[in-house]
Structure 1
Amino acid sequence: MAITPSSEIDHDFFFYWFQQIDLNELSNGTTIPQINNYSFDEVSITYPTSLAEQKRIVEILDETFAAIDKAKANVERCLSLSKALFKSYLQNVFANKGEDWEEKRLSEVLQKTEMIDPTKTPNKDFIYIDVSSVNKENLEIESTSIIKGKDAPSRARKFIKTNDIIFATVRPTLKRIAIISNEYNEQVCSTGFFVMRTTELLNHKLIFYYLQTDSFFKQMEKLQRGASYPAVTESDVKNQIIHFPKSIQQQNKLADKLNNLSSETKKLETIYQQKLNDLKELKKSILQKAFNGELTAKEVV
């Protein structure tokens, strides 16, 4: 669909005006929202009659938006750098064995976990964690369901406890990893997760951070099978090798250090994301002023 302004309206002025239109409000259709020429029948545009004034507004918007886009690029670069630095540090920690460190397959530091059938207690409520419940950006559990045993889906079979680590073996490169907090102690998660419960040999937080390393995910990418529904097996994960300090005290110190670094990185990411949101809102505000006849060069400098 093409919309061409009349000769009374500068093309660039019209382009900016179009950006402040909420197309969602104009769309029709419930399954697949869409717009057509008739969608704009009730839409009106207010504009200066002088083409020179329209061009003046365009010049201000061009200059202002160029500055905003530059600021946005800088913030995005800082956001990307903060994530990359943390990933790089994690990779170095687990790739380079320190003194008095040992090397083991994950199978050697994990306990056997339990399966459960909630349908055997049909009237008991339980919290169910599906694969989609884990936010792959912040690696936290969100949007769980409270379900009665009689309504349990067939995949709700894995019993979880506080400090277990869950890792989605379906589409493993999406990095759905989380630590089970007290809130979800003795609840149920999907069979799409591998539940890892460490032995006394290893601090569970080190497993959590190891699973976030690039080297681990490169292995998962190589091992995953299936085109439309790629997955790895629990055995694939158990065969991966992890390096860690022999001393529990040193493990705890390392886990605390990684916790603090992760926390500071997330704080930075929150700050940078808020800056990006603020820049987006600034653009909207300036466009609104421009088409309400309130824009001057002085106001946006």
Structure 2
Amino acid sequence: METRKPTGTAFDYIDIDAIDNHAHAITTPKHTPIQDAPSRASRAIQTGSVLFSMVRPYLQNIALVPKEYSSCIASTGFYVCNSTGLLAPEYMYFLMLSPYVVDGLNQFMKGDNSPSIGKDDIENWLYPVPPIAEQERISSMMKEILHEISEIDSSLS
């Protein structure tokens, strides 16, 4: 994982609290003065990165990084998944949200106060890698299904 230390007078920081674990999206990064930079602020991210919280992974603090947050710096509490071309970013996002990955990685949690998993647990997990065209089809179907669920949810409110 690439590291990047904050520079300038202030920076935008994504910590675990900046993820809405119901919408699985980044809410508002903290605009932080450089002198107040937490030591955990060192994960480089880019458009299409998937942030996966290694602390209490069962809470599913997982988000796909959109372009507007690509210059932020993330907490070391995240594993930053970046595509090397083998996985389409949206497919990688839906894959990391899947019970197969979340429940599978939960078995490796250690610690009582802040149970967490390690980067090796994530890197050594087996991930299904269909052809890119199939990944795009799966992602398209997932977005359509989630949109329909959202519309149903809105109509019930």
Corresponding residue for 1:181?
66
Rg: which structure is higher? 1
Correspondence for 1:262 among 118, 122, 146 = 146
User: Equivalent residue of 2:87, what SS?
Assistant: coil
Give the Cα–Cα distance (whole angstroms) in 1 for the partners of residues 87 and 24 of structure 2.
Answer: 21
Contact (CA 8 Å) 1:134, 1:142: kept in 2 or not?
A: yes
Corresponding residue for 1:224?
109
Task: Supply the AA of the counterpart residue of 1:254.
Answer: I
TM-score (norm 2): 0.92
1:260 to partner: Cα distance: 1.2
Correspondence for 2:41 among 145, 151, 156 = 156
Give the Cα–Cα distance (whole angstroms) in 2 for the partners of residues 115 and 217 of structure 1.
Answer: 24
1:173 to partner: Cα distance: 0.7
Give the Cα–Cα distance (whole angstroms) in 1 for the partners of residues 149 and 127 of structure 2.
Answer: 24
Correspondence for 1:243 among 128, 132, 135 = 128
Contact (CA 8 Å) 1:170, 1:192: kept in 2 or not?
A: yes
1:233-291 deviations in whole A, cap 9, x for unaligned?
A: 01101111121322x2232222111111122122222333x1xxxxxxxxxxxxxxxxx
Give the Cα–Cα distance (whole angstroms) in 1 for the partners of residues 107 and 81 of structure 2.
Answer: 21
Corresponding residue for 2:52?
167
Give the Cα–Cα distance (whole angstroms) in 2 for the partners of residues 234 and 269 of structure 1.
Answer: 35
User: Equivalent residue of 2:127, what SS?
Assistant: strand
Corresponding residue for 1:115?
3
Contact (CA 8 Å) 1:122, 1:151: kept in 2 or not?
A: no
Gaps of 5+ in 2: none
Aligned length: 157
TM-score (norm 1): 0.50
1:185-211 deviations in whole A, cap 9, x for unaligned?
A: 121011100000011121111111112
User: Equivalent residue of 1:132, what SS?
Assistant: helix
**Structure number having the greater helix percentage:** 1
Correspondence for 1:129 among 3, 14, 30 = 14
Gaps of 5+ in 1: 1-112, 275-301
